[in-house]
Structure formats: structure tokens, C-alpha cells
Amino acid sequence: MGWGDLGVFGEPSKETPNLDRMASEGILFPDFYTANPLCSPSRASLLTGRLPIRNGFYTTNAHARNAYTPQEIVGGIPDSEVLLPELLKKAGYINKIIGKWHLGHRNKYHPLNRGFDEWFGSPNCHFGPYDNKERPNIPVYRDWEMIGRYYEDIYINHKTGESNLTQIYLQEATTFIYKYGISKQPFFMYWAIDATHAPVYASSRFLGTSRRGLYGDAVREIDFSIGQILEFLKNMGIAKNTFVFFTSDNGAALISAPHQGGSNSPFLCGKQTTFEGGMRVPGIAWWPGQLAAGQVSYQLGNVMDLFTTSLALAGLEPPADRQIDGIDLSPVILEGKEVERPIFYYRGNELMAVRLGPYKAHYWTWSNSWQELSQGINFCPGQNITGVTTHDQVEYIKPLLFHLGRDPGEKYPIRPSSAEYQNVMLGISPVVRQHKDTMIPGEPQLNVCDLAVMVNLYKIMKTSAI
Amino acid sequence: MGWGDLGVFGEPSKETPNLDRMASEGILFPDFYTANPLCSPSRASLLTGRLPIRNGFYTTNAHARNAYTPQEIVGGIPDSEVLLPELLKKAGYINKIIGKWHLGHRNKYHPLNRGFDEWFGSPNCHFGPYDNKERPNIPVYRDWEMIGRYYEDIYINHKTGESNLTQIYLQEATTFIYKYGISKQPFFMYWAIDATHAPVYASSRFLGTSRRGLYGDAVREIDFSIGQILEFLKNMGIAKNTFVFFTSDNGAALISAPHQGGSNSPFLCGKQTTFEGGMRVPGIAWWPGQLAAGQVSYQLGNVMDLFTTSLALAGLEPPADRQIDGIDLSPVILEGKEVERPIFYYRGNELMAVRLGPYKAHYWTWSNSWQELSQGINFCPGQNITGVTTHDQVEYIKPLLFHLGRDPGEKYPIRPSSAEYQNVMLGISPVVRQHKDTMIPGEPQLNVCDLAVMVNLYKIMKTSAI
């Protein structure tokens, strides 16, 4: 889901009344980011509080190469990483993941090996349907047991886009909340649904109801479901004890737009890129009675902060033996403070850009390759900014600098000869130098899956677009 | 001001709390349009309820040529047109225009000759400063008296962008409201400020306060002022008797972005074009106690409707001897109804596009000329959609068709061979045919000012951008 898919962020059809209400009862973060413009690395960062280059969810076999965990991958989240549920468990929390795991397919990476007590969902997206010759359909688990496969056992009508998967995930959520809410057992629920990922689906109740087509139907169903969850927490009387955060793992995928892709408006490009459209995501904090309603926070936030913040709220310390990139947002959330911190935009093994305050400096630009473009794959459809949305990988000795307040769309680079440029870079350069000088990259986990697999998957995704 | 400049429409800095509150207390119209992508024709349409091609605010001396009323123009709003204040006057209303008139510079076109009882403002924008050799600075009037000129007498600091003009306009507004509010005299106030028009300005209280730069300062001051006006109406106890509507005369001017131009996000291009970015504008209706708060209306609305709606609310009929294009929105506003009606997108003498329901058909596309582009004038900076944002004037026998719900950015034309296309055009074609067959164009008023003047003005505006 993209930043621009929410009514509160200007989607013209204004079809997310529940998320908009969540924001009006909580804190809206217009400057919230994911740790990577792709799914698996973002999720690894969310659960480890660390950049993909540290936690291993990246590649070194091609420069600035995006990678995730398709079925063929042997890698996964390393044992050496400490995951949020593992820590919360020590404080007596019961942890459940509902939906997409994405941190490794093999048994050793199973969520119940990594701090979760319960799982209903899948190691991957609902890609497919596959022919079971080249590759099987994606498995779905309840805890340790594989209960079936997408398409074969979990109904997804590829032609109509009908599936009640989000309803199943919602049912799992309320059942879990009820069970542990009633017994006053502290719990952590990671509701990792995938309805807006292509191939997009919605249940019959929502199908055909959006002014935005099928993608909008999926957004509406997610919005409805979040409304149900928040209502359920209120009705159980545990809302004031339950911190809820809504976000996304990357910007909307524009390669599948308009039928299967959403909106990153007003930001540049989408998923897979380190422009704002790829990494700026919705961020809403909700905690009735604990935080002042109706706030907008300009804090630069990151999904990695949810690791550190969750620990702080549970009275726990983050691991002291490693670099944690997430910061504790509890002073921001509870006291309205604002903390200066940089946002690092990585693509695979390369630091592409850095944001500090309102300024963003691109050290590298790349949308996608000429080869992909010639195949009709475009991460920036309809957007072409000379010297910015480059199809070659371009490195800058004098970084491309933008002021994201005046120019959220990254269209107007600030002239390197200007005083503004020089002043700003005096602040950004040492931050980048220090980050690079102290960086100890983790062992890359996603190298085994080579480019051919990615290209093949794009082909499948394109074919599956209605 | 552009659609995307409001927090409620997704501007990331969320700096319009008063307009956002106005929406939450009233009705937000995400599908509201102006009658023309340029200032003067839009204002002529607002006050006549008629398309520029009918009321004469267009040209015939070049195909699809945009035109307005620079100082050199001899034309203005024809005597034969009936203006909103002329009609309201008959029902006992006192009418005031504060700000930009833009319907003719010569004395015969003076607003006090056309139904207004009071005027504080100017026949034109605050362009300049001029050297008083080639052309004088723009005059400012109080009623019949010219009280001075912009820059010479009304302070606008061209370097810092400081001017207290919006504060003066605000003072004029509250004084007028107080005077007639206290005496229970029905009044019509047309608050036609111009602070977001290049060269952009703000008063010292707002200068440097926006996260968006000078343009954002101007938006913040407008937002503040509207908050003040609404508060004033409430405090005087006349809010429930006062219908207020907020809108803009065209999309944000992207040629002056980012320092002097705003946001039409997620829509394509900006001012001067018949893409959504040029003509979709903010629309907010406010009338506490009379309309249900917190509504979103998907009604296709147009500034021309404010003519017809205002008459209806005042218990008056529109003139019966001519075609009125504006529809009465009072059933929409008061009863939540939705009326099917087309939106016509004109550029000068040409019907470029038509919207019906969620679909928009372009019969002509044109962003701007190759010649302008080569001079660095670009109405669609960073946006380049092959076969859509054309620099030649392109006519379509099979119109370019978009679904604005799925594709608000007009990026993905629907294939003419598809069943969807054919069904939709079955509905749109007769509407266009009927519109053209019954069209009786007015005498064009803006021909005298030739293209050279426009080009010259662009040059001045570009030079005046900080």
C-alpha cells in the first residue's frame, strides 16, 4: 500500500474512513519511512530494528540489487539476529503473526522458531496460481502445520479477484485478541496482511464497491478490517492498554498500476526505488487515553523504530551487543517531542540517499535498467525527470539535493553552487561519512536467488495482472 | 492554489488546519472543477454561471489559446452578461468584492458598474514591479477611487516576498461582515485574494513559517485568514445564516514551482491545461447547522454552480433568456443528493475534454507548444506521458479515455477496442454532440491581446520567480 492510498493522505476517492478516524484519534506521521523499498528486507528490519545491510536481508552479487525471499531462496533471517517477539517473550508476551512472514521459507526460519507463539499465514505472498510442475503454489500454515496452499485450498479467484483471505486474517486477529485480552495476558500481534499486493483480491462484500476498481476494493477491505480491530479493542476495554501502529512495507508497486497498483502521490516513483514513492509509507499511531488525539507529527520515523519503541513500551532494552538503527519513538508519541535523525535509503548493498531534516541527498540514482524498461517494466510510469529517474546507475560526487517540503516530488535539484546546497551538505556529509565508516555489513542472505529469478517473477506478476 | 495544497487533500506538510476543519464542519468536494484552466475566464464563469465560450471570456484568434485580462486588454465582461451580484442586489443583498476582479480594466467594466456595492482590490493580479515606462504598476481601488498602485503604494517586497496584502484583505472582510452582519442586512462577499499567485508573498507573521517555503507561507496565511473569517461569523452569531464556499480559479501554476508554485497532486499537469491538474480544484461548502458536518460529496461540481446555487439559496431564479451551465447544488448540499452532469474542459475556443461519471474523454490533447517548451516553459514538469501530454495539438477521432477513479493521474488510456471503452463512449458521445450542436458562442472579448503579450508575461513571471 502506498502513502497516497489513504483518504487522510489525499486519495481523491476518500475511501479509508477507518484509517482516517484512526489518525484523528491518534498521531499521523506524514514523514514515516520503511527501511527498504522491498517487502522482505523491510519486514526483517521491522522485526530486528536494523537496516537490511546489517541483518543480512540484502545481496552483494549485483550492485544496488533489490532482493526478497521467493520460494527458491535458501536464505532467511540469520540465527544471530534478535527478533522483537523473542525479546517480548522474555517479558511475558504472547506473540502471533497473522499473514506474510517473508523471512525465509525453510523450516529453520519458521516464525515459531523465532519468538512467535502462533502463526496463521504463509512464508510468502499469494503469488500464483502455479502449475505445480515448475513450482508449487505457496503453502499456508497454522502454527507448525501446513494446512494447504493458496489457490488449491485458500480460495483466490484469479479472474474475478475474489478471495475472503482478509476476512480470514481478520477473524484470526479478533480471536487472538479475545483470547488473550480476556485473560489480561500481554500480547503482540503482527497483522501482516497482503491484500493490496498483486494479484489483488477482495471478498465478495467489497468486490466492485470502490470508486478505484479492484485495488480500491482491497484497500476498502483492509480499512474496514482495521476499523473492526480497533472497535474490538475498545469493546473489550483494552484499547487504553494496547498500542497500535499502522504502516506499510514499501510504496505502492506502480508496475502493476492502475488495476493492481496504488498511489504514492505526490511522491516520485514507487516500490523498488529509493525515491520517496518507494520508501515513504503511511504511519499512524493509536493508543486512546495514552496519547493526545488528532496530532500530526513531523518526526522522521522508520519501521525499524517500531522494534525499539515496542521494547520501550514493554519496559525492555534493545540488545546492547549490536547496532540498532531504530530509535525509541515513545517520547515522540507520548510527549510530542521531535528527535533529529537521518533516514538512510538503501537498495541492496548500496546507500543510495540520505534524508536529514527536510533535505534529501541522492548519492546514487536509479529507477530501473534500460533492459527492464525495454520489456515494459517501469517503476516510474509517466514520470521522467531528467538526471533524476535515471535508467543507468548514476553516482554523484556532488549529491543531488532536494528540499522535500518545497519539492516533495523530487523534481527540482538544488544547485550545488548555491549557499543553501553548501550549508546543507555541511550537515549531511559527516552523517554519511560516520555511517559508512562504522558500518559492519551482515552476511548477505539473499544472494543465492539470482537476477533471472527476479526477472521471471516480474513476468509472472505482469501476466497475472488483469 | 492547487487541489493538492490542502492538508485534507494530502499535502504532506499538513499546514491548512483551518481549511481542513472547514471541511470537517462542512462538505468536502474532491470532484470539484473550475470552468477554465486560467484566472479571468474562471472568474467570469463564477459570476455568470456560464462557460467562457458563452460569456465571451475566450479567444478565436488562435486555436485552443488561453487568454486572460492583462493591462493591455481592451475587453471585459460584456454588458449583455448578467452577473451574480446584479441579481442578488434585486433581492436586497449588499455585495462586496475584495481582491482581484479580472473581468476588465476599463472603467466601463468596473465592478461597481456590475452589481457590486463595494470594492477593495485591483482589476488584475499584483504582477510587477514594472518600470512605469513600458507599463505602469497595477492600480488598487477602494470603490470608485484609485487609492494607489501595487509596489508603489501597497507594499510588496519583491526580494523577501513580504507583503501584508492578505491581512488587508482579511481586515476588509471582517469589517464588511461586521457592518452588515450587525444590521442583519443580507450580504454577498466575494473574497478574491491572490496571495498564492506568483510573485508569491506573505506577511511577516507567516514569512518563513512553512515547511514548504514561501509558497507554503502564503497558503498558511490564507488558511489562517479563512479560519478567522469563519470564527468571526460564528462569534457574530450569523454562521447559520451564512453559506460559505472555498475554491480556486485554476490548478496550481507549475511553471513557477517549486518556490512560487503549488501542488495538484495526484493530478496531471497544472494551470493552463485541461488535464486534471489544471482544472480540478479544492471545493469546500460550510454552513453550520444547515448542512450535516463531515461529509464527502462525489458530486461533480463546478465554480459555475456557485452562481446557480447562490441564487437558489437567495430564493432567486437564474436568467431564463440564456443558457446557464451552472447547476443548483442546493439539493446536494442540503439533502446529500448526487446529480449526474458532465464537466466540459475548454481551452479558449476548443472543447478539449469531457467528464461524465468517473470517465474523462479527451478530444484534443495539448500541454504547451514545442516553442514554449524550448524556452523552458513547461506546464507538466517531470511528467511526460506519451500520447497524452503532447506538445502538438492532437485531435482524436477516438477520444483518449481515462477512468479517473482507478487512474486519477490520466496515465493509462483505456483501449478503444475494449468493451469498457465502447460502452462508455456510447454515453459520452451524445452528450458532446448535443453540447456542440446547441452551442451559441459569445462574442470573444480577449482577442485584442495577442500571443506576443502572453509570451512576454511568461517571461516577466519567470524573471520574477525567486
The CATH number of whichever domain residue B161 belongs to comes to 3.40.720.10
B442 touches chain A (CB under 8 A): no
Say whether both B373 and B328 belong to one domain.
no
Catalytic option among B63, B102, B197, B362: B102
B381 touches chain A (CB under 8 A): yes
Asked, as a colleague might, if the bond just before A266 is cis with ω within 30 of 0, I would say: yes
Say whether both A268 and A146 belong to one domain.
yes
Provide the residue range defining the domain that includes B380.
Answer: 350-438
A366 touches chain B (CB under 8 A): no
Annotated binding site of B for Ca(2+): 39, 249-250
Instruction: Produce one character per residue of A376-410: b if its CB has 16 or more CB atoms within 10 Å, e if not.
Output: ebbbbbbbbbeebbbbeeeebeebbbbbbbbbbbb
- Determine the residue of chain B that is closest to A6 in CA distance: B10
Which residues of chain A have a CB within 8 Å of the CB of B412? 257-258
Say whether both B313 and B422 belong to one domain.
no
Among A339, A362, A379, residue at a domain's last position: A339
| A264 and A219 Cβ atoms separated by less than 8 Å | no
Pairwise CA distance, residues A319 & A314, whole Å: 14
- As for how many domains chain A has, the answer is 2
- Whether residue A411 and residue B257 make contact (CB cut-off 8 A), yes or no, is yes
Which of A10, A258, A385 has its CB closest to that of B382?
A: A385
Say whether both A18 and A164 belong to one domain.
yes
* Cα end-to-end distance, chain B, whole Å: 18
- Determine the residue of chain A that is closest to B382 in CA distance: A385
Instruction: Work out whether strand A295-296 and strand A94-100 pair parallel, antiparallel, or are unpaired.
Output: unpaired
Say whether both B83 and B158 belong to one domain.
yes
Say whether both B217 and B238 belong to one domain.
yes
B237 touches chain A (CB under 8 A): no
All 3 cell numbers of residue A135? Answer: 513450482
- Element housing B414 (H / E): none
Which of B8, B265, B403 has its CB closest to that of A266?
A: B265
Residues of chain B with pLDDT under 50: 451-456, 458, 463-466
Interface test with A, best of B3, B15, B211 (most A CBs within 10 A): B211
B118 touches chain A (CB under 8 A): no
Shortest alpha-carbon distance between residue A69 and chain B (Å): 30
- Determine the residue of chain B that is closest to A384 in CA distance: B382
Residues 6+ apart with CB under 8 A from A370: A391, A392
Would you say A325 is a known binding-site residue?
no
A21 touches chain B (CB under 8 A): no
Interface test with A, best of B404, B406, B415 (most A CBs within 10 A): B406
3-class DSSP state of B458: helix
Is B388 inside any structural domain? Answer: yes
Taking the CB of residue B130, how many other CB atoms lie within 10 A of it? 17
- Whether residue A411 and residue B211 make contact (CB cut-off 8 A), yes or no, is no
Q: Residue B382's closest CA among B247, B265, B209?
A: B265
Asked, as a colleague might, if the bond just before B129 is cis with ω within 30 of 0, I would say: yes
Is B64 inside any structural domain? Answer: yes
A274 touches chain B (CB under 8 A): no
Which of A8, A215, A266 has its CB closest to that of B266?
A: A266
Taking the CB of residue A88, how many other CB atoms lie within 10 A of it? 22
Say whether both A9 and A131 belong to one domain.
yes
A405 touches chain B (CB under 8 A): yes
Is A231 inside any structural domain? Answer: yes
| A124 and A140 Cβ atoms separated by less than 8 Å | no
Taking only the tens of pLDDT, chain A with its 466 residues reads 999 999 999 999 999 999 999 999 999 999 999 999 999 999 999 999 999 999 999 999 899 999 999 888 888 999 999 999 999 999 999 999 999 999 999 999 999 999 999 999 999 999 989 987 778 899 999 999 999 999 999 999 989 999 999 999 999 999 999 999 999 999 999 999 999 999 999 999 999 999 999 999 999 999 999 999 999 999 999 999 999 999 999 999 999 889 999 999 999 999 999 999 999 999 999 999 999 999 999 999 999 999 999 999 999 999 999 999 999 999 999 999 999 999 999 999 999 999 999 999 999 999 999 999 999 999 999 999 999 999 999 999 999 999 999 999 999 999 999 999 999 999 999 999 999 999 999 999 998 755 444 444 545 555 444 3
B412 touches chain A (CB under 8 A): yes
Say whether both A58 and A146 belong to one domain.
yes
Shortest alpha-carbon distance between residue A379 and chain B (Å): 13
| B1 and B270 Cβ atoms separated by less than 8 Å | no
Annotated binding site of B: 39, 249-250
Q: Which residue's C-alpha cell is 485531435?
A: B395
3-class DSSP state of A159: coil
Which of A212, A384, A406 has its CB closest to that of B213?
A: A406
Catalytic option among B39, B125, B269, B449: B39
How big is the A-B interface in CB pairs under 8 Å?
116
Q: Residue A251's closest CA among A375, A345, A122, A166?
A: A345
Shortest alpha-carbon distance between residue B313 and chain A (Å): 28
Say whether both B324 and B375 belong to one domain.
no
Say whether both A304 and A429 belong to one domain.
no
Q: Residue B324's closest CA among B345, B305, B349?
A: B305
> Could you give the residue ranges of the DSSP H alpha helices within B207-269?
214-235
- Determine the residue of chain B that is closest to A408 in CA distance: B12
- Whether residue A407 and residue B298 make contact (CB cut-off 8 A), yes or no, is no
All 3 cell numbers of residue A453? Answer: 529469478
Among A284, A305, A339, residue at a domain's last position: A339
Say whether both A180 and A41 belong to one domain.
yes
**B391: annotated active-site residue:** no
Shortest alpha-carbon distance between residue B200 and chain A (Å): 13
Is B464 inside any structural domain? Answer: no
Is B443 inside any structural domain? Answer: no
- Whether residue B12 and residue A4 make contact (CB cut-off 8 A), yes or no, is no
Residue B421: which CATH number?
Answer: 3.30.1120.10
Which residues of chain B have a CB within 8 Å of the CB of A385? 382
Interface test with A, best of B9, B11, B13 (most A CBs within 10 A): B13
For residue range B443-452, what is the model confidence (pLDDT) as tens digits?
999 987 554 4
Positions of A marked catalytic:
39, 102
| B361 and B428 Cβ atoms separated by less than 8 Å | yes
Is A449 inside any structural domain? Answer: no
Among A315, A339, A363, residue at a domain's last position: A339
- Determine the residue of chain B that is closest to A276 in CA distance: B12
Is B41 inside any structural domain? Answer: yes
Say whether both A218 and A364 belong to one domain.
no
Is B460 inside any structural domain? Answer: no
Partners of B104 in the β-ladder: B76
